[in-house]
Amino acid sequence: MADAAVTIVGGGVVGLAIAAELSPHYSPLFLLERHAKYGTETSSRNSEVIHAGIYYPHGSLKAKLCVEGRDILYTLCEKHDISFRRITKIITATRKDDLAALESLYNHGRGNGVQLEMMSAQQVHALEPHINSVGGIFSPTTGIISAHGLMDFFYHSAKNNGAEIQTHCNVVGLEKRGSDFSITIEENETRTTFTSEIVINAAGLESDTVAALAGIDVDAAGYRLHHCKGSYFAIPNAKRNLVSHLVYPIPSKESLGVHALIDLGGRLKFGPDVEYLSERSYNYAVDESKRHAFAESVREILPSIEDDDLSPDYSGIRAKLQAPGEPVRDYIIRHEADRGLSGLINLIGIESPGLTASPAIAKYVYRILKT
Ligand SMILES: Cc1cc2nc3c(=O)[nH]c(=O)nc-3n(C[C@H](O)[C@H](O)[C@H](O)COP(=O)(O)OP(=O)(O)OC[C@H]3O[C@@H](n4cnc5c(N)ncnc54)[C@H](O)[C@@H]3O)c2cc1C
């Protein structure tokens, strides 16, 4: 008999949501996190937006799990007092040439089942008099949430159901042994090995590394991750009332574009930009030399912002399956039985909207395990 029924690698929002979902059904259930606290990587370094589900390819896991996760999040927030706000969002076209792209984005979002409204320039300016706009899309179901509040909720739900959540616990070995997995962990330079029937790899930026530990050739499988940093700059409080909704530009192929964010404390910030990293450095410092280029992107939306209004704020790193210039890839959420690894579920490339989708991802994983 294995030491654990289920072991989850990674204590970000996805691993925690899965622990909360599975813990009523599996015992013992372990969640292993390498840092001193859960949720200190990407899950606490993002825009904290509850995405409506507009952008993602029709029929993709990103689209389906975002829409499902968004609705679950609003219910959880209301029921369990997790901080959130239904702030809503405007996507603005800043040039006449962008109006066709705006309309196709509207049709695309509607195709994902998202409630949206087209807006004239006058309607945009009635809501946001200071922004640059020749027309827009209004998204009434976009909101903001406390990522820490959500993770605390998942953590306590899992703990109350008997899950054992271990921090300072780096998974360094994963091997199929008979019907179970042998897992080696490193805690303060001491290595220990135990067994688990099921392993769920929710290791975020290192989920490809963990898949490789299990013997998967990540290049052949298409699991290799590209780390892509996104930085934010903050706007001083004196100018924070210049916008009152989240305001996004027309997205590019690579990202949603630098957009205006208002956090739960009412602070206004812009970001994130797109910077593919050549090495895995986990350097979260925001490069001040980006200020001017950043301000140029901000002025596309909010022309009155000057370079000196921007101060470096924070950054996060995206776990992208696609290299620069490649087409967008969908989430990999896969039971690896056909690779001789029955009981291993890999979650790889869980970039945005992973925060929004997290409770739906957890339900999806539970459905995989039950079939
Ligand atoms: C700039 C930016 C903005 C974003 N904005 C939004 C947004 O507004 N809305 C939205 O829905 N999504 C957003 N996202 C996406 C969202 O943040 C992620 O999809 C989500 O946080 C991924 O969670 P995770 O649990 O998979 O990863 P993580 O939070 O990275 O958690 C993985 C955990 O695994 C641990 N780990 C790794 N290797 C090991 C190991 N060997 N042993 C033990 N532990 C290990 C890590 O320490 C980490 O804590 C954004 C992302 C970025 C980068």
Please work out whether the CB of residue 33 comes within 6 Å of at least one atom of ligand 1.
Answer: yes
What CATH number should be reported for the domain holding residue 307? 3.30.9.10
- Looking at residue 252, its pLDDT comes to 85
Q: Is residue 66 assigned to a domain?
A: no
CA distance 137 to 245: 12
Same domain, 165 and 209: yes
Provide the domain limits for residue 277: 86-141+225-320
Q: Please name which of 294, 299, 314 lies closest in space to residue 239, comparing C-alpha atoms.
A: 299
Under 8 Å between Cβ of 84 and 49: no
Confirm whether pTM is higher than 0.95.
Answer: yes
Q: Do residue 169 and residue 205 come from a single domain? A: yes
Q: Are residues 235 and 285 in the same domain?
A: yes
Q: What is the CATH number of the domain that holds 17?
A: 3.50.50.60
**Residue 22: inside a domain, yes or no?**
yes
* Residue 286 DSSP class: -
98 domain-assigned? yes
Measured between alpha carbons, how far is 76 from 79 in angstroms, rounded to an integer? 5
Query: Are 112 and 9 found together in one domain?
Result: no
Q: Are residues 204 and 232 located together in one domain of the fold?
A: no
Answer whether residue 56 is part of any domain. Answer: no
Each residue's pLDDT expressed in tens, for the chain with a length of 371 residues: 999 999 999 999 999 999 999 999 999 999 999 999 999 999 999 999 999 999 999 999 999 999 999 999 999 999 999 999 999 999 999 999 999 999 999 999 999 999 999 999 999 999 999 999 999 999 999 999 999 999 999 999 999 999 999 999 999 999 999 999 999 999 888 999 999 999 999 999 999 999 999 999 999 999 999 999 999 999 998 999 999 999 999 998 778 889 999 999 999 999 999 999 999 989 999 999 999 999 999 999 999 999 999 999 999 999 999 999 999 999 999 999 999 999 999 999 999 999 999 999 999 999 999 98
Tell how far the Cα of 137 is from the centroid of ligand 1, in angstroms.
Answer: 28
Looking at the structure, do residues 189 and 291 belong to the same domain, yes or no?
A: no
Ligand 1 atom nearest residue 352's Cα: 15
The confidence score (pLDDT) of residue 188 equals 82
240 shares its domain with 353: no
> Which residue has its alpha carbon closest to ligand 1 atom 19?
354
Q: Is residue 278 part of a domain?
A: yes
Contact (Cβ atoms closer than 8 angstroms) between residue 247 and residue 260:
yes
Question: Which pLDDT score is estimated for 310?
Answer: 97
Q: Is residue 80 part of a domain?
A: no
Q: From 167, 201, 352, give the residue whose CB has the most ligand 1 atoms within 8 Å, as the site to mutate.
A: 352
How far is the C-alpha of 134 from the C-alpha of 124, rounded, in Å?
8
Q: Whose CA is nearest to atom 35 of ligand 1?
A: 10
Which residue is closest in CA terms to ligand 1's atom 52?
Answer: 46
Tell whether 59 is covered by a domain. Answer: no
- For atom 15 of ligand 1, the residue with the nearest CA is 352
Say yes or no: 243 and 94 in one domain: yes
User: Residue 63: its pLDDT value, please?
Assistant: 98
Residues 360 and 242 in one domain: no
Domain total in the chain: 2
The answer to whether residues 20 and 126 belong to one domain is no
53 in contact with ligand 1, CB cutoff 6 A: no
